[in-house]
Amino acid sequence: MPSRQIPKLYIPSNATEAAIRAVHAAAVAAGGGTILLPDAVITLTEPLPVASGIGYRGVQPVLDYLNDTLPDSGWDFVGGTVLAGDGSFPAFAANDADLGSPSGTITADCITGWRCEHIGFTGFTRAISIGAVNHIGLQFSAVRDLFICDCSDWGIFLANFMHTDVSRVWTHLCGNGQYYASLLPGSTLMPGNSRFDSLFNIIPADGRDNRLCRGIVFEAGGDGARLNEMYADRLQNNAFNRTELLASATFSNGSANIAVPDGGKFRARMPVAFTSSNYGVTAGRIYIVKSVSGNTIQIGNAFTSTAMIASGNGSLTLSSWGMPCFELAARNGGAFVSNSRFLGVDAEGGSGAGIYVENAQGCDLNISEVPGDKNADIVGRRVGFSRFYSSNTTVTDFDTASATSQFHGARGIGRQALLSGMWTDQTRGGLAAFNIRGDAWENQGDLEVRGGNSFIYPRFGMGMKSTLKTANTVLHPLDAGLVTFDGSSTLLCTLPAITNSSDASSLVGLPFHIVNAGSADLAVNTSGAQLFNKISGKTGYTLNAGESLLVVAAEGAGSTLFWAAFPSAGVA
């Protein structure tokens, strides 16, 4: 058996950029190892090198929470390993230039076995920038315990990764939070297959227009890209200190262009809503900014939809709380996030669409917090066979292309498709509303409790199971419902014996609606000594041709079991 190689540890002689680069070169030459960074602030002048088999491990950063409050408000570094830049470059960068097409040796170009742990970052474009359009990223790697602030672009940007663990990454005061994506054609590779835990982003509250800052994003882009099999637990984005944008939007008949007072207040993919309906838009429904040019915007129904054409001239009031807290979406119509699980999605504060999901297939989202009282909590566009769980009063807006998905939990306002599922309608006095089928429009649940929780009311007609019998038959509980006998000679129908020894085996309440559609008599008998309507000796009933009999298994005083019978006259 070959001996196990012990990882080599490399410790810089002092806390300088040059010392780190020197030990990195030594680690590469030796075939791998871990660079132990000191408890210090280390100033960089360019990105540190990234190579397969090399790890960077710092001393756990010590944080001082701003205003002596919880970490929700941000932090300053007061100890541990902190890398500092001048805002013009990323701290770690590799394979982060977009390519026109994937490399023919794309899997060989992966960065394998890279690690980055226990480090603080401040003053970069991105703390980590690995992977890009058509450019492979990490595999079999780990990114853990990173605390990132003051990045002008994304706090962390990982694209085209596989079998990588990302845990406890906090971002604060960054232009955008955290970005994880597949930016490759699906025919080349389907990245993903990775695990995430404890991702936390805080939208800046430093005076900038923080409605334009994106939160935590999982995205599929490129030609038919697939971001597949992501397993994430505890994702939080706080968007407090945002204010509502209210602006006049002027429509021009037959045009996609909408005039706004200040185009600088908008960016592509920003959710917006309108306070009234006209010119082709519906009040309250979420629309997406498709493009911004000067003081002109275009909107559509989704990230990947075409721009909407106005059906008239005039102005409406536009509302937006800014970019979503959490995005699970695609860059184009042929890309999908698939077969993934997101547990404990926490979207707090102001957001035009707290959780925005588009082109997701077979995904589960368990939502612990929603913004509330904003434009929408969950927005779904073209979401297939996915499930949303939220115990909060949740405002939803799903398009009809999402009707194969489910919503469970507590619902507030529901716009467009309500989806199938089981949920409590919080807008109707807390009455339970169970949407079993899930229609495509803005109706209430298919079944709901009314009369102070006293009876179930169906919104649609209730069908009855129907069974055809053409011979003598002993009915089985599975025959419950309408039972039609059709014969040219006398037939015999025997009811099952009623049992009630336990809830699991009880037949009390079992109904049969028996119809004689034949040309001869039908004899309906009980099994044994059980009676019809507790009438002594009444164990049989004859139905002439065209007559029917409704019987329901019942229990009387002294636990006596009998058949409650409701005969009807034949049709004249």
Q: Give one DSSP letter per residue of 399-430, joined into a string.
A: -GGGTTSEEEEEEEEEEEB--BEEEEETTTTT
How many CB atoms neighbour CB 130 within 10 A? 28
The sign one gets for the Cα dihedral 181, 227, 203, 286 is: positive
Return d(Cα 167, Cα 194) in angstroms, integer. 11
pLDDT of 1 reads: 45
Looking at residue 148, its amino acid is I
Please state the domain extents for the chain. Answer: 55-238+325-334, 246-320, 340-345+354-462, 466-568
Host H or E run for residue 30:
helix 17-30
- What are the angstrom distances between the C-alpha of 311 and each of 205, 254, 255, 278, 286? 39, 6, 8, 8, 18
Cα(83)–Cα(43) distance, integer angstroms: 6
Which residues of the chain fall short of a pLDDT of 50? Answer: 1, 3
Residue 408: beta bridge partners? 389
Give the model confidence (pLDDT) of 146-155 as tens digits: 999 999 999 9
403: phi then psi, degrees, rounded to nearest 5: -70, -10
The sign of the CA dihedral 37, 38, 39, 44 is negative
Q: What is the rounded CA–CA span in Å between residue 570 and residue 548?
A: 7
CA angle 420, 408, 330 (to 5 degrees): 80
Phi, psi of 326 (to 5 degrees): -135, 130
How far does Cα 524 stand from its chain's mean position? Answer: 54
Q: Which residue, among 59, 51, 62, has the nearest Cα to 24 in the 3D structure?
A: 51
Q: What amino acid is encoded at 180 in this protein?
A: Y
Alpha-carbon distance 517 to 489, whole Å?
A: 11
Three-state secondary structure readout of 521-541: CEEEECCCCCCECCCCCCCEE
- Residue type for 328, please? L
Query: What fold does the segment set 466-568 form as a domain?
Result: Jelly Rolls (2.60.120)
- Separation CA 249–CA 319 (nearest Å): 10
Encode 128-185 in three state secondary structure: EEECECCECCEECCEEEEEEEEEECCEEEEEECCECCEEEEEEEECCCEEEEEEECCC
Angle CA(548)–CA(553)–CA(557) in degrees, nearest 5?
A: 130
pLDDT of 458 reads 82
The pLDDT value given to residue 565: 96
Torsion angle defined by CA atoms of residues 292, 296, 300 and 304, in that order, rounded to the nearest 10 degrees: -20
φ, ψ at 263 (rounded to 5°): -65, -20
DSSP 8-class letter at 48: B
Q: How far apart are CA 519 and CA 421, in angstroms?
A: 46
| Non-local CB neighbours of 99 within 8 Å, separated by 6+ positions | 132, 133, 134, 135
DSSP letter at 127? S
**How buried is 411 (Cβ within 10 angstroms: 0-12 exposed, 13-18 middle, 19+ buried)?**
buried
Q: Distance between CA 32 and CA 152 in Å, rounded?
A: 32
pLDDT at res. 71 = 56
Query: How many helices (H) and strands (E) would you count in the chain?
Result: 1, 47
Note whether 162 and 110 are within 8 A (CB): yes
Q: Looking at 370-521, which runs of residues are DSSP E strands?
A: 378-381, 387-398, 406-416, 421-425, 432-435, 447-450, 455-458, 466-469, 473-474, 481-485, 491-494, 511-516
Name the CA radius of gyration of the chain, rounded: 32
Strand, coil or helix: what is 237?
A: strand
